[in-house]
Amino acid sequence: MRKWVAGACLLYVLYGLFFYWYLFMAGDSSVPEALKGTSADPATFMNERELMLTEDYSKIKDFLFFIRIPFEWFLFFILLIAGLSQKMKHWAEHTSKRRVIQIAAYVFGLFLIVTAASLPLDWISYRFSLDYGISTQTTASWIKDQVIDFWISFPLTAGAVIVFYWLMKRHEKRWWLYAWCLTVPVTLFLFFLQPVVIDPLYNDFYPLKNKKLEHDILKLADQADIPANHVYEVNMSEKTNALNAYVTGIGANKRIVLWDTTLNKLDEPEILFIMAHEMGHYVMKHVYIGLAGYLLLSLAGLYAVDRLYKWIISRHGRELHIKGGTDLAALPLLLLLIGVLTFAASPFSNAVSRHQEKAADQYAIELTENKKAAVATFQELSKAGLSEANPPLLVKIFKYGHPTIMERIQSVENALDQ
């Protein structure tokens, strides 16, 4: 056990050192010579202080992102190899004779451990965003969001685990397929509920107050043949200085949402460009395509989890203190595999997302025909969020669901020069 723990610790430290070296020493985020002095060059729209803050904050933020991802995997492995997961299972079995309550108790204990262990990293990330002027959120509000996250994630995860273990027991060979069949309606249902049930737990949403701007946005929507009666704004200025807008929900609960920071910091032509971008997602049905892609990817993922899960238990079950596939103590292994495969698939899903975002940008350019507003919007997005215009390659591959600011500005210039 000591060798396994020591090896896991060493691997995690080497992983962290690699990304520290890559982000702070080797990663290239410089502006290509051909773009220096153009509208895509941050030096043309940021002052020296903004450039320095952007570089420093981006490196810290990206480093925390990369070391946070495998931290839970490391924690799950330690729980398994040290036999702590088995002890947690025995404790859960003493809480009730009912299997459902035992699983819920185990998941609750596991969530408490993961939340407590991850809290320092999450707190450091919050404090850095506060120190660099990105976050405006009070400590009390931040804690409230952490509590909401816990009480949303815990029942959903507990319900999923209860169903998954029941399926494993009843259908050992095909549990992953039946589990996927159940995730389809559940995912659609949650996506339908998110705008009206989940999102309002974190922030206040209300119809756009600026009626003239709403009229202009709805007029733009009419040009795009989009049925729309309302645009919503959300009071994100209580939590951040960053800018954003998005489309969420499906069916009758579909919403176009503007952060109030976007309304406060951008001019109307720039806001209309952002709205045209979101309308592009609607017209090209990116929400539904994204949902379909997620569901297909989750089918392949569950199959891969099943194969790896059974292979690891057959080869290393004794070392990991796992008695079989339906052993509740094996849950950390299941979650570890899901996390690793999700991260491994992120370059593909991010690439698809960047393609959709680029298409939505192109649609917005064609709809508004306002090059100046498009360029100014991307520049303001970069300044408000202290986002690097040209991040290092690994950051882009694993983290960016949007094209980089430099790529987006270049696309505007190229589209309108043709």
Q: Crossing angle, helix 268-283 and helix 286-316, to 10 degrees?
A: 70
Task: Kindly tell me the burial class for residue 109, based on how many C-beta atoms sit within 10 Å of its own C-beta (0-12, 13-18, 19 or more).
Answer: middle
Is 278 assigned a catalytic role? yes
* Catalytic residue (one of 278, 306, 327, 388): 278
Instruction: Give 135's contacts (C-beta < 8 A, 6+ positions apart).
Output: 126, 129, 239, 240, 241
Mapped onto helix, strand or coil, the DSSP state of residue 245 is strand
Query: Which tokens is 47 given?
Result: 């002052």
* Catalytic residue (one of 199, 233, 260, 361): 361
Contact 391, 54 (CB under 8 A): no
Please give the C-alpha separations between residue 3 and each of 24, 74, 78, 79, 201, in angstroms, as whole numbers: 31, 14, 12, 15, 45
- The owner of tokens 């192109």 is 362
Contact 394, 59 (CB under 8 A): no
Rounded distance between C-alpha atoms, residue 65 and residue 20, angstroms: 11
Rounded distance between C-alpha atoms, residue 194 and residue 75, angstroms: 30
Active site residues: 278, 361
